[in-house]
Structure 1
Amino acid sequence: MSGFKRLCMFVFGLAGMACLAILVLPWYGIYQHGIATVLAHPIGGTVALVLACITGLGLLVCLLGALFTPRNPHSVIVSVVDGDEVHVTRDAIRAQAVHTIERDGTLTARSVNVKAKKRGHVRVFCRIQPNNTVNVAEVGAELHDRLMVGLSEICGDTVDSVTIEFVDPITHDEPVNFDSLEASYANTMPKAHPVSTEPESQSTTSETPFAEDIRVPMGHATTLRPPQLEPEITDDDNLSVDMDITEEVPTTDREDS
């Protein structure tokens, strides 16, 4: 509702209530002498006459509007096939507009008003709230084209106009660009080295060989051989280790002998 229309309705309502009070209260004996005194005064009589004229003019406008305002039909004829009519309801047109607006998830349809005549001339008014701060000029032009295409799918060529109104967004943060995030993440990742097809080189770490002879420097030298484990060990067999112990006689003892 526009501001002028709202002001006219306010003045009409106030004037009507004042005229009704002037007529009804003296009828029941309430403020009868006071109202008669005010009406007898030239200024009071002029004000009452102006209020009566405003009330009468407002009632006339309401009567003419009720008689001659075209009815907004529940359904619209979109095509005629062999004498048969194809109708689409205003609720279906509204649902198609809401679906087109909220398709990408960045916009929210707060209200969608559809006005149409019986044989076409569909006019759609959309009030939209963005989820984030957007470029209204660019998004509005793109959304208008999408709405015209989407509504033509169910209304045909009967769409006369599509009006779009943007309201304050839900949040003033900038929308997240996932493509730029993926690109920056790919740049920060280390580049993978090419896989070599050559056989793996032998390990440079040399294993310490097992010492076959272990000598104890205490006048006697003892030679130990690595234990040989049997394939299977049972409870009846004893674990045996073959060891050759070679005893050396000190050199001093040989010379004495």
Structure 2
Amino acid sequence: MTTKWDILPLPIVIEIISWLNQDSVTDLSLVSKQLNNIIANEPGNKNKIIPVFEIRGNSAWKFANKLRHHFLSNSTANQLQVYQLMRFNDVHKFGRNDAPIPHPTQLLHILKNVQMKGITTLDISSPFPTCCTNWILSYILPNILPQLRGVDFSNTDISDGILQRFSQFCPHLEKITLQNNNNTFGISLSGYSMCSSKNLKEINMDDTVFYMYDRIADLNNHQEMFLFYQCCRALQFKFVRNAPPVLRLLRSDLTPENMRMLRLERPGIELVN
């Protein structure tokens, strides 16, 4: 295996690495010292291994207390700052065995002065649709991740209130992914829950339940109210008809006739079906 990689020119090796996901890049780094060095140190390689802080278990109490314990030591606290991605396994089970059930203020008190400033991406998604994602966990995470730029809530039942906390406490948030959210209360199409996210550029909410006001659907009398109009300052990916110039891409299940109409009205938008 090593011999085969040795005969490949470096640009080709870097190109191959660029197409790999994180798990594959990690596996490849174990093949040989040469590949490990290319992945870790070669300036031309942009697909580096991202340090992952992975949480297993199902207790919010244990999560808060263990994290606080790590921050009691300056050296351990500094080591935790190198992680860039926080990922929860079996998030749908989180908090089920907690007794007594903690109140968010109790956990926030335990986590006072605890911040992981290196984390820029949070994966709190579930591998399958669930209606029991622990809202307490979602409530406290924005307080400890001030540099967060991307969060994935896919297949969970988070509400507008949780989105609003991430919007308020994570000022650098740029991307929100929320696929297959079937929360009974839905997410507001006005974008009110994300209005504090001044840097928000991308939202992905396919197959998510929304609620809306009649005025948003009334394009004749309320043209200033469109989908996600309250959080559109920097938004690049959204579904709106009367949108500001930042709209560049629209993915939807529109009919060919509607797509032709939109191309005439907004020729600068790339339409993807």
**TM-score for both structures, normalised by structure 2:** 0.23
Structure whose CA Rg is larger: 1
**TM-score for both structures, normalised by structure 1:** 0.24
More helix by share: 1
More strand by share: 1
